[in-house]
């Protein structure tokens, strides 16, 4: 029973960490670290929930989760244990299946969109240009990554602002922000209450790309480009892509009035705590009861 309680404790602590992270102010200063912590928290919740059910069902065998699963079929039948194990395996299969299904769906969306771009867009200056009056800027991640701009955006932005937008999109592609966002987008489809979390992760990734662009072109340049997008009604990015005009108001305020550096000890402490909590259910997968 103590091992089951360990998984429950890890699940509760992950929930506490998630609640703290959503209320904290420092993630906007360190969006990359915040996204990494959210990934660790999400993994902790998934592993703890699945492992807790499996540990409950395999508890009489006293062999650990993975070794116990290998010998469960030859052990004496236990209806309640079998039910707990089945629930854990169904939960694991559901989470993995949802991730796989969403990955396939997004890959198909991007493939269809690339086919359209091949017909409608013109390649020049390191990007694909669409003949469209509204300002549009987004990237299509993947092996054949592309950055797409509209003629409306090219007309609206100065050369410096255009370079900043391109740097923003290059940051998305270089750091593979689509991979960081994908698990949370899949969770949002499986559990509607996670939609807010998926939106928060998306905003953190946009802020990270803003920071990368601002290092080369200045915060004011990036902010001015976003202000122009907002003022002229930038079109939303197609499904499966990452657009520069998402949640512009908050990002503009952050660029114009950057928050103070804040304490460094607290993020480090939270990071160490989250990683410790994550290590507990992972280590218990192989540890004998």
Assign 129 a pLDDT band (cuts: 50, 70, 90): very high
- In this structure, is residue 69 part of a structural domain? no
Summarize pLDDT for 148-157 with one digit per residue, the tens.
999 999 999 9
Give me the pLDDT at residue 125, please: 78
Residue 72 lies in a domain: no
Residue 136 lies in a domain: yes
Determine, yes or no, domain membership for 132.
yes
Provide the sign of the torsion angle of the four alpha carbons 211, 212, 218, 224, taken in this order.
Answer: negative
* Alpha-carbon gap, residue 163 to 52, rounded angstroms: 50
Q: Which of 145, 168, 146, 281 is CA-nearest to residue 234?
A: 168
220 domain residue, yes or no: yes
Q: Which domain holds residue 190?
A: 122-258
Band (160; pLDDT cuts 50, 70, 90): very high
Q: What is the pLDDT of residues 56-115, one digit of tens each?
A: 877 766 666 766 666 766 666 577 878 888 898 899 999 999 999 999 999 999 999 999
**Sheet of 127-130, strands arranged across:** 122-124, 127-130, 146-150, 137-140, 242-243
Helices (H), 24-158: 31-58, 65-71, 79-120, 151-156
Q: How confident is the model at residue 126 (pLDDT cuts 50, 70, 90)?
A: confident
135 touches 203 (CB < 8 A): no
pLDDT at residue 280 in the model: 63
| Dihedral angle, C-alpha 105, 108, 110, 116, nearest 10 ° | -140
Tokens of 80: 């309640």
Q: Is residue 195 part of a domain?
A: yes
Q: What's the total number of domains in the chain?
A: 1
Nearest Cα to 200, choosing from 35, 14, 55? 35
In this prediction, residue 189 carries a pLDDT of 86
Residue 36 covered by a domain: no
Report residue 53 as tokens.
Answer: 């059910």
On whether residue 263 sits in a domain, the answer given is: no
Task: Give the model's confidence band at 271: pLDDT under 50 very low, under 70 low, under 90 confident, else very high.
Answer: confident
Q: At what angle do helices 219-231 and 159-174 cross, to 10 degrees?
A: 100
CB within 8 A of 237, min separation 6: which ones?
136, 138, 243, 245, 246
Which pair of structure tokens corresponds to residue 247?
């949640």
SS3 152: helix
């Amino acid at each position: 029973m103590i091992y089951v309680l360990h998984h429950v404790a890890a699940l509760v602590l992950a929930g506490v960490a998630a609640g703290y992270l959503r209320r904290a102010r420092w993630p906007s200063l360190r969006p990359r670290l915040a996204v990494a912590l959210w990934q660790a928290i999400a993994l902790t919740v998934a592993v703890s929930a699945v492992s807790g059910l499996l540990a409950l069902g395999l508890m009489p065998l006293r062999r650990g989760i993975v070794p116990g699963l290998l010998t469960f079929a030859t052990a004496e039948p236990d209806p309640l244990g079998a039910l707990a194990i089945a629930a854990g395996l169904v939960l694991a299969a559901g989470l993995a299946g949802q991730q796989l299904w969403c990955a396939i769906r997004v890959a198909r969306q991007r493939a269809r969109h690339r086919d359209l771009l091949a017909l409608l867009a013109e390649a020049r200056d390191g990007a694909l240009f669409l003949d469209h009056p509204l300002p549009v800027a987004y990237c299509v991640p993947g092996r054949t990554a592309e950055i797409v701009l509209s003629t409306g955006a090219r007309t609206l932005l100065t050369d410096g602002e255009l370079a900043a937008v391109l740097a923003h999109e290059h940051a998305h592609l270089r750091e593979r922000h689509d991979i960081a966002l994908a698990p949370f987008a899949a969770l949002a489809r499986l559990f509607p209450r996670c939609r807010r979390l998926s939106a928060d992760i998306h905003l953190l990734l946009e802020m990270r790309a803003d920071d990368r662009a601002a290092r080369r072109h200045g915060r004011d340049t990036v902010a001015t480009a976003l202000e122009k997008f907002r003022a002229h009604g930038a079109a939303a990015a197609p499904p499966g892509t990452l657009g520069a005009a998402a949640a512009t108001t908050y990002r503009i305020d952050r660029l114009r009035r950057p928050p103070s550096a804040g304490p460094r000890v607290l993020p480090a402490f939270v990071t160490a705590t989250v990683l410790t909590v994550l290590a507990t259910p992972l280590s218990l997968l192989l540890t004998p009861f």
